[in-house]
Amino acid sequence: MSTLEEQPMASTAISHAYEKRMMVFGGRSSQELAAKIAQNLEIDLGQVTLKTFADGEVYCRYEESIRGADVFIVQSTCQNEQTGMTPNDSLVELLAMIDAAQGASAHRIIAVMPWYGYARQDKKSAPREPISARIVAKCLEAVGVDRVLTMDLHAGQVQGFFHVPVDHMTAMPMLTQWFIDQEMGDELVIVSPDAGRVKTARNFARRIGTQWAVMEKERPAQAVAEIGYVVGNVKGKTAVLVDDMIATAGTLCAAAQTVIDEGAARVISCATHGVFSGNAYERLADSAIEQIVVTDTLPLRPGAPANITVLSTAGTFADSIRRIFTDDSVSEIFAGENQLF
């Protein structure tokens, strides 16, 4: 009886020397920030052609191969007057860049959205309204995004609108460090403009080592804010109004006047996102606010007052992008304190 010679088992995988590639591209609303992020990562910013046709439609084409690469697309869905982009233009351009990257066989596509447009429309405030923050999430997933990286969302529940992973970052470490570097000491009191930001104000004050207070606020209509009174002691102190964004600055200016009326020596405003929409610049120029500190998640509109200080988020985004690329923890950058809702 003959026996069959034992045959070597076939391998279940093909051995191949595969080297991961990271590529960073910037949309037209965030080109300056994207360039700084690439510089921090010590790589060249990827080449992509972006333009708007005469009829208003946007166009995108990658000018180099992105096959097999982890593609990070930096785009705040905001207005950029210098490049002629509206928030809706920025969103559609981001969707086009994601779709083009998927069609070009990118390995992973990560939308880096320093400012997540429509985040304030996270729930229905009246019957028959859309939940626009959810619409944006659905659109991003529909065109093939694999991951989203964003900073200081207006509402934490926006993360729940996604089925893909969302890495949430915060600018709090760099903002608190700025105040520590100013060596203002015990004269500071951190003030939350409303009850919804109490946790943020408390954590901000803890990091600096000072006291905090909260303001009672009523909003009788959309984009109209009425400030009542301050819960906490601001008399003779430098009041730091902390929020996630400054939009029309109506709430902020009313809050500043209230803390001055209650005895604060001076007022500084601090926020991650400087939207500065509508008549914000004019309101701030006429307000009691001495200094305004924001980050570069959105480009400043032309004509910004001289008392606005802009801190760069490029290093923080670069660290997070590097960790996503190497499959390491993003939350470790913030010691687990990046969910401040």
pLDDT value, residue 221: 62
Q: Is 138 a catalytic residue?
A: no
Query: What's the whole-number mean pLDDT along residues 42-52?
Result: 97
In tens, the pLDDT along 77-103 reads 999 999 999 999 999 999 999 999 999
Answer whether residue 119 shows pLDDT above 60.
yes
| pLDDT level of residue 156 (50, 70, 90 thresholds) | confident
Give the range among 227-231, 237-241, 281-285 with minimum mean pLDDT: 227-231
Query: What's the whole-number mean pLDDT along residues 148-161?
Result: 94
pLDDT value, residue 113: 98
Query: What's the whole-number mean pLDDT along residues 249-275?
Result: 94
If DSSP states are collapsed to H, E and C, what string results for 278-315?
Answer: CCHHHHHHCCCEEEEEEECCCCCCCCCCCCEEEECCHH
Query: What's the whole-number mean pLDDT along residues 290-302?
Result: 96
Give the range among 168-177, 203-212, 225-234, 279-288 with minimum mean pLDDT: 225-234
> Across all residues in the chain, what is the average pLDDT?
91
pLDDT value, residue 228: 74
Domain boundaries, the chain: 22-170+315-334, 172-311
Residues 301, 99: Cα–Cα separation, whole Å: 29
The single residue of 36, 51, 199, 217 carrying the catalytic annotation is 217
Q: Which amino acid makes up residue 215?
A: M
Query: What's the whole-number mean pLDDT along residues 103-119?
Result: 98
Q: Which fold has domain 172-311?
A: Rossmann fold (3.40.50)
Q: Which fold has domain 22-170+315-334?
A: Rossmann fold (3.40.50)
Same fold yes or no, 22-170+315-334 and 172-311: yes
